[in-house]
Amino acid sequence: MTRVTPIPGQPAILISSRKSTLCVADLHIGYELELREGGFNIPPQIDNILQDITGIDEGDHLLILGDLKHTVTGARRRERFELAHFFRSLRERFSSISVVMGNHDGGLDRDLPDGIVAIRPTGVRIGTIGLAHGHCWPSEDVVKAKTLLWGHLHPSLRMTDRLGGSVNIKCWLRGGTSPEKLGRRYKCIDVRESIVIPAFNRLLVGSPVNENAKPDLSPLTRSGYIDISEQEAYTLEGVRLGTVQSLVRGGKRRRI
């Protein structure tokens, strides 16, 4: 039996089957380069990302669920240098490393070192868990899983206190699906549960789903197959906050 276990306090999840696989998504290596061009003095983040991943004890294998790098087409010279350093360091920690191609990973397959497995954007299945980035339709094999684990949305929640102060926190989204919405797209679809993993990069807190669910970002949500408003939101520590819809009051952010 395949199990998924979120890592407490981290936007990461452990997949336990015949082997244990640590899964993270949306690293966006090189994002700070774009911020610098906009006038922000942001130091390189690669060491922070490495520290956060290697600091997690669980998992013998690593699966990166899309958007490893930030530049959409190709990679900048600095990004290529950081990617080489990134994989050299990770190989000391993990037995194998795989990368599902995301919408920001154009040309990444040309920059991956030997031994790093590139997986098509349509995803992969590990036992009863289907995995995809989420920017395109998953494969027939992936939707034959029981649970779909994906990223791409960078989910977060905007919470306000009684004095009007607000904070934006990363969150997990977990809930049911509506297979009937997909019509004739798939011959067989068994996925009944969706889990959206938060962005791993510290700088990417994410888009507040209780302000704007942005259903157009993925075909999974555009189709109505996954209704963001009906998903349960959890903090990184595993605290259940309720459905996204319940976290919106009168069109305003819920107060805490």
- So what's the pLDDT on residue 200? 97
DSSP notation for 220-245: HHHTSSS-GGGSEEE-TT--EEEETG
DSSP category for residue 107 = T
The whole-angstrom separation of Cα 66 and Cα 133 is: 5
- Per-residue pLDDT tens for 108-132? 888 788 889 999 999 999 999 999 9
Residue 167 near residue 39 (C-beta atoms within 8 A): no
Task: Residue 22: give the domain boundaries.
Answer: 3-253
**Overall number of domains in the chain:** 1
The whole-angstrom separation of Cα 63 and Cα 74 is: 21
Nearest to 21 by CA among 63, 54, 52: 63
- Per-residue pLDDT tens for 161-174? 777 788 999 999 99
Average pLDDT over residues 34-40: 83
Residue 129 near residue 15 (C-beta atoms within 8 A): yes
